[in-house]
Structure 1
Amino acid sequence: MSRRAALADREGFLAWAMLLPSVIYILALVGVPFVLAIAFAFSDVTTGDPSFDWVGLSNFDAVFDDRVFWRSLRNTLLFTLVTMVLVVVFSKILANILIADFRGKWFVRFLVLLPWTTPVALSTISWLWFLDSIYSPVDWVLRQVGLIEGNVVWLGGQGTAMASVIAVQVWRLTPLAAVIVMAGLIAIPRDIDEAARIDGAGFWRRMFGITIPLALPVIAVAGLFGAIMTFTDMTVSYVLTRGGPTHSTDTLASWAYFRGIEGGDVGQGAAIALFLFPILLAGAIAILRAVRRLGAQ
């Protein structure tokens, strides 16, 4: 047996050979930019002067004195929390619909996945028309049913702008979460549900007594994916409102972009972006611990 054939039969070698491309990919696209962000956060690098000069914690001091930063932090937490809750609720409802037997189920599943498969910038631009202050079809429908009289400035008011951004983000992420939850629902043994039916349990009792507890670890994973994608997302708010009005929809990701790229202060932009890491890490650890405890029960 040749040496090459012997290596191909070794599980340890195959494991590292399969993992190596992923490790290189993560280091190149995540590790290197993360290290550069840390270095830039302690420097005075700008888009006009890329020379590296150590400035210590001055960028962080400037960030802490910036009222927009604190508002962006509150917006990010609110944006993520509300979006995650709505995504979990709607994905559970949608997953129940998708596992039901009805004619044309494959076509419905195709339509459900469209928001996720469509490029985020393209789909968000279409929402600009839906939420337009003059030509919005949403306003037209609401006027026809008598819920409003004039036009609603969806993206011009602070409350309606944040609600609009959250609604678009929920619309984007619900299909992915629904597919994850659907896999968990399918894995539940059918004999458990059938035994509950025989014992006289109704739909809601089976839902809250059997389906949700058994699928809770998978639902938590879907919520985790939604939280990560929402917490680090800036595309929806950037395309819809560019952080306005008066920074009411700015998030940490978008404000880091505005300060570091459009504002030219790369050091402060990197310092703002670094706050995403510890908050997201703490949230992910909390959710994963909860999932592990649920799985152990």
Structure 2
Amino acid sequence: MVPAALLLLVFLTYPLGLGVWLGFTDTKIGRGGEFIGLENYAFLFGDSVARLSLFNTLFYTIVASILKFVLGLWLALLLNKHLPFKSFFRAVILLPWIVPTALSAIAFWWIYDSQFSVISWVLTRLGLIDEYVNFLGDPWAARFSTIAANVWRGIPFVAISLLAGLQTISPSLYEAAAIDGATPWQQFRSITLPMLTPIIAVVMTFSVLFTFTDFQLIYVLTRGGPLNATHLMATLSFQRAIPGGALGEGAALAISMVPFLLAAILFSYFGLQRRAWQQGGTDR
């Protein structure tokens, strides 16, 4: 256990502790700081850009997580059926997850380009629009465009994880329900969802954590623009700390993300508690 403990200490515990300390100082790049208490947090509370980044992060996380869950569950149910070339489709669906995030972001940057967008080209050829859409130039269009890119990358993780959970459900449960006259929707609501609840809790916790802390996709696609409309807390923290030089302020912004991440972990904990209840476990 010692080597693993040392790795966690060096690469997790120490950076986290240093970040907490820097959040209480006015440290700048190239200059040591002094302890200033909660001044950084008070400044961020009154900073309109920081508040906008919080809204962007919550909106981005909630919408993307819901879409990934719905589409991922639909794909998992589809792939769990007896389909031709099922193994091939299961392998193909992993491609968006396997491709490096930076490469995916560059591909989407080209897809969303205001002059060479393939989406706009197709829509104009179909006569649905008269001019190319500026996907990354309008604040709300940019928000939904980045969400679409995140959903495309995240669906495989949700789908494959839920597919693994579906395959642990005994077919005899569905056979008994069918004999009793249950419709497919009733089987899904009374068997599939309850049995998948613990898996859903864990999978969606990781999905929320990955989405809430997303950095690469946003930084490559928009760098927080236009007009800070796509700045997440992670990207704004980096901008304030590294290019901006205000390490203390950037660290405080990063540490402000911790309560939201803890809330997601608690969601997973209650999901696991439900699994223990379903398996006949008791709290000790």
Q: Normalising by the residue count of structure 1, what TM-score does the alignment of the two structures yield?
A: 0.88
Give the C-alpha shift of residue 21 in structure 1: 3.6
1:140 equivalent in alignment to 2:121: yes
* Amino-acid identity (%): 39
Indicate conservation of the 8 Å contact 2:73/2:159, yes or no.
Answer: yes
2:23–2:248: 8 Å Cα contact kept in structure 1?
yes
Q: State the Cα distance separating 1:106 from its structure 2 match.
A: 2.1
Matched, 1:187 2:137: no
- The answer (yes or no) to whether the contact 1:217–1:295 under 8 Å persists in 2 is no
- Alpha-carbon distance, 1:102 to partner: 2.3
2:28–2:248 CA contact under 8 A, matched in 1: yes
Gaps of 5+ in 1: 1-16
Distance in 2 between residues matched to 1:176 and 1:24, nearest whole Å: 30
Q: Secondary structure at the match of 1:262?
A: coil
- Out of 18, 26, 31, the residue aligned to residue 44 of structure 1 is 26
Judge which range, 286-295 or 137-146, deviates more: 286-295
Distance (whole Å) between structure 2 residues aligned to residue 53 and residue 132 of structure 1: 45
TM-superposition CA deviations, 1:215-261 (whole Å, max 9, x none): 12211211111100011111111111111111111111111001001
Q: Is the 8 A contact 2:197 2:271 kept in 1?
A: no
Instruction: Map 1:207-286 onto structure 2 (within 5 A).
Output: 207-286=188-267
**Residue pair 1:259, 1:269 contacting (<8 A) in 2 also:** yes
- How large is the RMSD of aligned CA atoms in angstroms? 1.6
Q: 1:126 to 1:267 in 2, by over 3 A?
A: same
Aligned partner of 2:184 in structure 1 is 203
- Whether 1:96 aligns to 2:96 is no
- Moved beyond 4 Å, runs of 4+: none
Equivalent residue number for residue 87 of structure 1: 68
Shift in alpha-carbon separation, 1:240–1:35, aligned structure 2, 3 A: same
Map 1:85-124 to 2 at 5 A. 85-124=66-105
Residue 290 of structure 1 deviates from its aligned partner by 4.2
Q: Is the 8 A contact 1:116 1:175 kept in 2?
A: yes
TM-score scaled by structure 2? Answer: 0.92
The 1-side partners of 2:58 and 2:122 are apart by: 32
Amino acid at match of 1:225: F
Find the residue that maps to 2:94 and give its secondary structure. helix
Match of 1:33? 15
Gaps of 5+ in 2: 279-284
Q: Residue 171 in 1 paired to residue 152 in 2?
A: yes
For these two proteins, the number of residue pairs brought into alignment is 278
- Higher radius of gyration, 1 or 2: 1
